[in-house]
Amino acid sequence: MLIKQKFHFKTLVFLILSLLSHHSIANNKTHFEELFSTSVVLTDSETITLGVGNFDPDKLLKPHEKSFSESDSIKLRNELTVYSIPYTWRLTKDTSKSKSEDKAKKENPNYFYRDEITASLSYLKQENKSDLLSSSTMSDDNKDEVYSAYLAYSLHSQLNENWNLRTRVGSYLMHHKNKYNYNSEESKQFQDELDGIFLNLSANAFIIEPNVKLTYSQNKDWGKWEFSNDLNVFTGITFNGAKSSQEAKPTGWRLNNGFKFHFNVNQSKFHAESIYVKIQRSDIGGDMVNSLGTDHFYEFGVGLLLDTRKFTTLADNIGIGINIHKGSALTGGSIVFYFNEL
């Protein structure tokens, strides 16, 4: 029940009848399509960046308004936990480093840049109190977890001095698990009917995602800036797991258009620091639109990056900053840690 809407108790009877009706399997197919599609977006840091120490950016702009209430979006952000460990293997050397730009382009105007394999492991959890099945003060405990393994092959082509084209094919293997504790006598009445159909179950999905990303970058005296147009389209199927999850087909797409700026602060012999600024709009379509409550949103980020290439091969740079998300059910700000942003 990732990013689910809240219901009042008076809708309970209708909801239970719907779940137990002839169309209950169809309703659950939609639920799992939304769940896995939303998980794809939430574990993609290039689309949505979730950090720690969530806050309401509007309160920072209006410090005179002493309101200690927490918005629904901040509550939702605090319910979510996302971890992702990515790693990329470059299969060929960076052509632009192995030979001069002019020589490479003379040999082949659309010369091959590099290809690589990217793998990542992700964990997504939403844990909250639910009053969906009870009107009493004793809420139920709900926890959704999604474990995801991602593997992709990417091909980079340097079209000219400024333009770079990345084509990529990736796949996700996902496992979802729901644990629901019925804490009230009212909710326990429905446990036998809901367990294994909508609650207290597990499900699996396999998703294919092709991607095309076009980037324009330019070096300046003060640093570097780039514009990117990034399109992802995905489709998948569910398998094994709960019977109610079978035949679900999560599908969707997202288009990220954004600018990144790097302002040099310290370019000494031993280390390099830069101020990092990100401005991005994301348009989305498919099964995750209902969960996120929108078909587009914006992100703004600013932080400090440290070039680590002289110290380790594990990362080109690391950093810390603030990211602000606007326009979806996850509207809010957070502290984020950057990894390979430059």
This prediction has a pTM of: 0.84
Q: Which of 82, 85, 119 is nearest to 2 (CA)?
A: 82
Quickly list DSSP for 296-312: EEEEEEEEEEEE-TTT-
Instruction: Give yes or no for a contact between 207 and 238, defined as CB atoms under 8 angstroms apart.
Output: no
| Alpha helix segments (H runs only) across 63-184 | 72-79, 95-98, 101-107
Non-local (6+) Cβ contacts of 329 within 8 A are 3, 72, 73, 76, 291, 292, 293, 294
With contact defined as beta carbons under 8 Å apart, do 299 and 323 qualify?
yes
d(CA 63, CA 4): 31
- Cα torsion 294, 132, 181, 245: sign: negative
Residue type, 65: E
pLDDT at 167: 97
Q: Are 319 and 276 in contact (CB under 8 A)?
A: yes
Contact 245, 189 (CB under 8 A): no
Residue with tokens 């310290």: 266
Interval 5-56: pLDDT, tens? 443 333 343 344 344 433 344 567 899 999 999 999 999 989 999 888 898 9
**pLDDT at residue 18, rounded to an integer:** 42
pLDDT at 19: 42
pLDDT, tens digit only, all 342 positions of the chain: 566 544 333 334 334 434 443 334 456 789 999 999 999 999 998 999 988 889 898 876 665 555 545 688 998 999 999 999 888 888 876 544 444 444 555 554 445 578 999 999 999 999 988 876 666 678 889 999 999 999 999 999 988 889 999 999 999 999 999 999 998 888 888 888 888 888 899 999 999 999 999 999 999 999 999 999 999 999 999 999 898 899 999 999 999 999 999 998 877 665 678 899 999 999 999 999 999 999 999 999 999 998 887 777 777 788 999 999 999 999 999 999 988 776
- Provide the CATH number for the domain formed by 50-91+111-339 in this structure: 2.40.128
Helix (H) or strand (E) holding 13: helix 12-19
pLDDT of residue 103: 53
Domain spans of the chain? 50-91+111-339
Give dist(CA 299, CA 324) in Å, integer. 6
Contact between residue 301 and residue 337 where contact means Cβ atoms under 8 Å apart: no
Q: At what angle do helices 24-42 and 12-19 cross, to 10 degrees?
A: 100
Q: What is the pLDDT of residue 63?
A: 57
CA 31 to chain centre: 18
